Amino acid sequence: MPISIKTVPELDAMRTAGRLASEVLDFITPHVVAGITTAELDRLCHDYMVDVQGTVPAPLNYCPPGYQPYPKSICTSVNHQVCHGIPGDRVLKAGDIVNLDITVIKDGWHGDTSRMFVVGEPSIAARRLCETAYECLWLGIDQVRPGARLGDIAHAIQRHAEGRGFSIVREFCGHGIGRRFHEEPQILHYGKPGTGEVLLPGMTFTIEPMLNAGRREIREMADGWTIVTKDHSLSAQWEHTVCVTDTGVEVLTVSGASPARPAH
C-alpha cells in the first residue's frame, strides 16, 4: 500500500481527531489514582468519547488478521506490560506506572496518542524510565522534516534510549495513520540514519517508542493482546501523531493539558 499524502482539508480533519484524542487523556488524568481499576478508566474514557465528544473508540472490536476482536475502548499497560494491555479488574496501587493509549475516530479520521502516568510516588528508576521514553519521543519528532528519512527518527530514539541504559522493543513500531488506523509507513524506533523512506509534506504517522528497563525481549499473554517484558522489567511508552509540513513537523495530538516537551 502506498504512503498516503494528506490534503489541506484532510489535515484539518486529522488535527481535530488528534486534539480530541489528547483531550481524552486530559480528561482521565485526575482519575489515574491508587484504588481505581483499569476497567473503570476504560469506562470513563469510553463514555467521554461517545457521549461528550461524539467520537468512536477505534480499539473497540478492532480485529487485525490473526487476532480476536479487541474487547475494550482504550489500552491500559501497567508496569511490565509493554502495550495493548486490556482493561480489567486490576487495581492501580501507589508506585505503579501505566500507559493509557487512546485512539479516536472523528468524521472518519483517526487520532492516536498515549501518555505515561505515575501513581503516587514511583521509584527513581521508574521515573527515569518514563522520562527517558518521553525524551525519546521528542528526539524522534525533532528529526521530522521534508527530505529526512525514517532511519533518522529511529536512530535518534535508539541512541538516546540505549545511552541511558534502556532497551528498545523491536516487534512494535509507529505507523502511518489517517482514514485507516494503521497505514504505511512503519516507523521503527531503532535503525541507521540516512536509511528508509524519505519524508514528504503531508505524510502523517505516529511515533511511539517503547523502552524496557531490562532486556528488549517480550512475550504475548494468553489473552492474545497484552504484551509484557520477558524478564518482568518495567516498560514505558509515549506516543504522538505527527504531520510532515513544508518546513518541518506539526504534532497533531496536542491539547490544553498536554505535557510540555522536555528540555533536552
Predicted local distance difference test score (pLDDT) of residue 263: 83
Average pLDDT over residues 246-251: 98
Predicted local distance difference test score (pLDDT) of residue 1: 75
Predicted local distance difference test score (pLDDT) of residue 19: 98
- Structural domains of the chain, ranges and CATH numbers in brackets: 8-251 (3.90.230.10)
Check whether 181 has a pLDDT greater than 80. yes
Q: Which residues contact 219 (CB under 8 A, 6 or more apart)?
A: 227, 228, 230
Closest by CA to 259, choosing from 142, 116, 124, is: 116
Average pLDDT over residues 136-145: 98
Check whether 59 has a pLDDT greater than 80. yes
Cell (9 digits) for 165: 541504559
Angle (deg, nearest 10), helices 38-47 and 8-28? 130
Check whether 264 has a pLDDT greater than 70. no
Confidence band of 151 (pLDDT split at 50, 70, 90) = very high
Query: For all residues of the chain together, what is the average pLDDT?
Result: 97
CA dihedral 190, 169, 82, 231 (to 10 degrees): -150
